[in-house]
């Protein structure tokens, strides 16, 4: 381990001090992303939804509980099948003893339990070791069988015999694997009185004993908020920090002397990082802020470790802290981890990129000042590659993070534009995975809601209309409504600059009007009402004062002062550019308008306007 991984922090560090979004106004919707108003329910709605999806998708990367599997004891069944929420440990067998001479190695569970309760120290040790072997080697460990036969009190008593650290180690290992089972098994371990002895073992002079205690405590803390808080209340934080100081010091010495002891230190450091992550995990309720503040300097140091497992678990811990304890986002930033987190976005391992990105995504849900700090650390330049990543979950997370940035201030929106991140977001809406499409849609609609006219004009010129119209046919009414809100905003701005007809042509050309008409039969009343209002306001008869003639004339008179200007880059739809030029030609507009006015049909029959215009262009 690098000699720079030294923990320079105080051990006694103290604390310093859903309504449907489719019915909200733009300012109300922005509160769903940013911390402008401390409304907890509104503030966390989307973060909670995204967290659930992320944690389900990353279940294999960050497990709550782990079994210590004996892979070197000659068992052919190395590929042990573990239950949900469990992970097999990788690494060497930590037992200081060989098991070949254990007379109870092949004994029945009843014989093992009987020997464990005998008065013979030798028999008790053999029984505890046989129990540990049964729990660590079998495909379906007999946890219930041992618990129901009353071995837990015997194992807890064995933890309190420091004179024989071999017995202590075997008992801690057995308790680790029992605690890795279902919730009732973990609770049984705690109710048997194992919590306090395990915490005291963090101070053991024998590192293998301390590590096994870390492992068992990680399983207990990972079970849920209640047992996590019981461990914190029992005083786990200070002994854990002392152990981290000790292992970092020993590892630095081992690294400088090329000692073989560095491997054991790496394993212990990894398990400590995992325990820290479980102490920060779960948010109903979140962990005590005072405990998190004590652990933050340790997390900042662990993030510098040259071992991916340590860094991965530390990133998860930081993601839990920034997600569960909103007021601590500022403290996380103050700990100095942001530059490292941003650098980790370039890591080749998706298992590290995912929690690093999640942490930064949580940070940019904070205040504008906190978001500015993340942007100043170089977050946005990393996003282009993330939006094109081959892992759909990373693409989704990057789009989610950008949706929060685009819900911020206009200077922040401009930085997203300047980093050329709008085109890939539009590309995701058109061609991406559905979950990523939804997040990218939120990002684009947030830009329409919060951007200034020049920024919205830029967005309109980036082929955003076909992308938004693509989402009019999804099943989720909420997404459909925010898309219609954004299209209405684009049309209104176009109308302000006498270009509503051009925008209508773009919407019709990509099938948007057909989809709007279909939405008038939608089962959701709000979807029906919004689609009807859009059609009546923007796609009605041309002689109602907002149609082609007035738009074309005004555009010809004042094109130089329009902010909602014509697309000029290669990303714009070809038909949009062609018909923009066509509508500037007043001579050509006369027969076009005449043909349209002659139709004199209902608003629904006007969907052929684009086709008629195309025919006249071809004829001309």
CATH number at residue 138: 1.25.10.10
Rounded mean pLDDT, 520-538: 93
Of 475, 328, 400, the closest CA to residue 15 belongs to 328
Count CB-CB contacts under 10 A for residue 149: 18
Under 8 Å between Cβ of 217 and 231: yes
Distance, CA of 47 to CA of 24 (rounded, Å): 18
Residue 192 lies in a domain: yes
Domain-ending residue, one of 188, 223, 258:
223
For 513-545, b where at least 16 C-beta lie within 10 A, e where not — what string? bbbbbebeeeeeebbeebbeebbeebbebbeee
Cα→Cα distances 552→173, 489, 555, 610, Å: 80, 20, 5, 16
Rounded mean pLDDT, 519-529: 92
Identify the DSSP state of 511.
T
- Predicted confidence at residue 264, as pLDDT, reads 72
Could you tell me how far CA 171 lies from the centroid of its own chain? Answer: 37
- Predicted confidence at residue 304, as pLDDT, reads 93
- Predicted confidence at residue 53, as pLDDT, reads 45
Residue 567 belongs to domain spanning: 488-512+533-619
Two tokens, residue 557:
């008179």
Residue pLDDT, tens place only, 297-319: 999 999 999 999 999 999 999 99
More confident residue, 338 or 161: 338
Residue pLDDT, tens place only, 121-146: 889 999 999 999 999 876 788 999 99
Residue with tokens 């925010």: 482
Burial class (CB in 10 A: 0-12, 13-18, 19+), 332: buried
Helix (H) or strand (E) holding 86: strand 86-88
Distance, CA of 109 to CA of 144 (rounded, Å): 11
Under 8 Å between Cβ of 128 and 116: yes
Distance, CA of 21 to CA of 35 (rounded, Å): 16
Distance, CA of 278 to CA of 118 (rounded, Å): 37
Residue pLDDT, tens place only, 38-54: 343 433 344 444 444 44
Count CB-CB contacts under 10 A for residue 103: 12
Two tokens, residue 534:
């859009």
| Residues contacting residue 274 through CB under 8 Å, at least 6 positions apart | 66, 218, 313
pLDDT surpasses 90 at 405: yes
Distance, CA of 505 to CA of 576 (rounded, Å): 7
When divided into structural domains, the chain yields a total of 2
The pTM assigned to this predicted structure is 0.77
Count CB-CB contacts under 10 A for residue 396: 27
Give the pairing type, strands 65-67 and 86-88.
Answer: parallel
Helix (H) or strand (E) holding 66: strand 65-67
pLDDT surpasses 90 at 164: no
- Predicted confidence at residue 213, as pLDDT, reads 97
Q: What is the mean pLDDT of the chain?
A: 77
Q: How confident is the model at residue 29 (pLDDT cuts 50, 70, 90)?
A: very low
Domain-ending residue, one of 223, 252, 272:
223
More confident residue, 325 or 390: 390
Count CB-CB contacts under 10 A for residue 314: 31
Burial class (CB in 10 A: 0-12, 13-18, 19+), 286: buried
Of 357, 349, 241, 216, the closest CA to residue 291 belongs to 241
Burial class (CB in 10 A: 0-12, 13-18, 19+), 174: buried
Rounded mean pLDDT, 545-549: 42
Residue 349 lies in a domain: no
Q: Which residues make beta-bridge pairs with 86? A: 65
Identify the DSSP state of 64.
S
Residue 11 lies in a domain: no
Of 581, 574, 577, 567, the closest CA to residue 422 belongs to 567
Backbone angles phi, psi at 67, to 5 degrees: -95, 145
Distance, CA of 310 to CA of 25 (rounded, Å): 44
Report the half-sphere exposure of 298 (CA within 13 A, side-chain side).
Answer: 34
Residue 449 lies in a domain: no
Residue 317 lies in a domain: no
Two tokens, residue 292:
């998190």
Residue 48 lies in a domain: no
Distance, CA of 312 to CA of 317 (rounded, Å): 9
Under 8 Å between Cβ of 399 and 364: no
Of 250, 285, 268, the closest CA to residue 214 belongs to 268
Rounded mean pLDDT, 153-174: 92
Q: Which residues make beta-bridge pairs with 87? A: 66
Two tokens, residue 463:
């082929």
Under 8 Å between Cβ of 330 and 55: no
Q: How confident is the model at residue 117 (pLDDT cuts 50, 70, 90)?
A: confident
Distance, CA of 446 to CA of 409 (rounded, Å): 11
Distance, CA of 395 to CA of 361 (rounded, Å): 12
SS3 214: helix
Residue 357 lies in a domain: no
Residue 298 lies in a domain: no
Lowest mean pLDDT, pick from 237-251, 430-444, 484-498: 237-251
SS3 65: strand
Under 8 Å between Cβ of 454 and 472: no
Instruction: Kindly tell me the sign of the dihedral angle through the C-alpha atoms of 233, 238, 243, 245.
Output: positive
Q: How many residues does the chain have?
A: 620
Domain-ending residue, one of 200, 223, 246:
223
Distance, CA of 430 to CA of 541 (rounded, Å): 31
pLDDT surpasses 80 at 346: yes
SS3 166: helix
- Predicted confidence at residue 606, as pLDDT, reads 40
């Amino acid at each position: 381990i690098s000699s720079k991984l030294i923990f320079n922090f105080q051990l006694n560090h103290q604390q310093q001090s859903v309504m449907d979004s489719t019915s909200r106004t733009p300012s109300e919707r922005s509160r769903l992303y940013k911390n402008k108003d401390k409304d907890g329910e509104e503030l966390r709605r989307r973060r909670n939804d995204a967290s659930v999806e992320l944690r389900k998708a990353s279940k294999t990367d960050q497990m709550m509980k782990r079994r210590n599997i004996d892979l070197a004891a000659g068992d052919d069944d190395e590929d042990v099948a573990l239950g949900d929420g469990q992970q097999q440990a990788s690494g060497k067998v930590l037992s200081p003893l060989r098991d070949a001479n254990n007379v109870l190695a092949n004994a029945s569970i009843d014989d093992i339990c009987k020997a464990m309760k005998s008065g013979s120290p030798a028999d008790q040790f053999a029984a505890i070791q046989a129990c540990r072997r049964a729990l660590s080697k079998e495909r379906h460990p007999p946890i219930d069988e041992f618990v129901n036969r009353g071995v837990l009190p015997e194992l807890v008593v064995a933890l309190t015999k420091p004179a024989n650290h071999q017995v202590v180690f075997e008992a801690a290992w057995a308790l680790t694997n029992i605690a890795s089972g279902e919730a009732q098994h973990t609770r049984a371990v705690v109710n048997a009185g194992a919590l306090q002895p395990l915490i005291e073992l963090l101070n053991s002079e024998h590192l293998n004993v301390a590590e096994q205690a870390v492992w068992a405590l990680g399983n207990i803390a990972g079970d849920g908020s209640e047992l996590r808080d019981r461990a914190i209340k029992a005083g786990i934080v200070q002994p854990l920090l002392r152990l981290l100081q000790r292992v970092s010091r020993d590892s630095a010495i081992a690294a400088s002397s090329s000692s073989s002891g560095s491997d054991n230190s790496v394993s212990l450091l990894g398990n400590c990082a995992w325990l820290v992550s479980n102490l920060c995990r779960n948010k109903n309720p979140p962990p005590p802020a005072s405990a998190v503040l004590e652990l933050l300097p340790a997390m900042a140091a662990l993030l510098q470790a040259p071992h991916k497992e340590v860094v991965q678990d530390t990133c998860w811990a930081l993601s839990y802290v920034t997600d569960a304890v909103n007021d601590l986002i500022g403290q996380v930033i103050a700990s100095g981890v942001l530059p490292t987190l941003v650098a980790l976005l370039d890591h080749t391992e998706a298992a590290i990129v995912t929690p690093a990105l999640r942490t930064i995504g949580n940070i940019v849900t904070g205040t504008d000042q906190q978001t500015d700090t993340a942007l100043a650390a170089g977050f946005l330049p990393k996003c282009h590659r993330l939006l094109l990543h081959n892992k759909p979950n990373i693409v989704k997370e990057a789009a989610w993070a950008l949706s929060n940035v685009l819900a911020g201030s206009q200077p922040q929106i401009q930085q997203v534009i300047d980093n050329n991140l709008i085109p890939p977001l539009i590309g995701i809406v058109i061609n991406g995975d559905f979950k990523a499409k939804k997040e990218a849609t939120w990002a684009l609609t947030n830009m329409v809601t919060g951007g200034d006219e020049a920024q919205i004009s830029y967005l309109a010129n980036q082929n955003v209309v076909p992308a938004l119209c693509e989402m009019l046919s999804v099943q989720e009414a909420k997404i459909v409504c925010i898309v219609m809100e954004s299209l209405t905003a684009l049309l209104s701005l176009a109308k302000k600059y006498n270009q509503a007809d051009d925008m209508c042509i773009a919407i019709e050309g990509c099938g948007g009007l057909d989809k709007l008409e279909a939405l008038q039969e939608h089962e959701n009343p709000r979807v029906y009402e919004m689609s009807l209002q859009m059609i009546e306001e923007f796609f009605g008869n041309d002689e109602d004062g907002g149609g082609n003639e007035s738009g074309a004339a005004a555009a010809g008179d004042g094109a130089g002062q329009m902010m909602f200007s014509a697309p000029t880059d290669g990303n714009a739809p070809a038909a949009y550019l062609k018909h923009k030029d066509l509508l500037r030609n007043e001579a050509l507009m006369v027969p076009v308008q005449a043909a349209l006015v002659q139709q004199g049909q209902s608003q629904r029959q006007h969907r052929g306007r684009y086709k008629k215009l195309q025919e006249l262009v071809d004829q001309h």
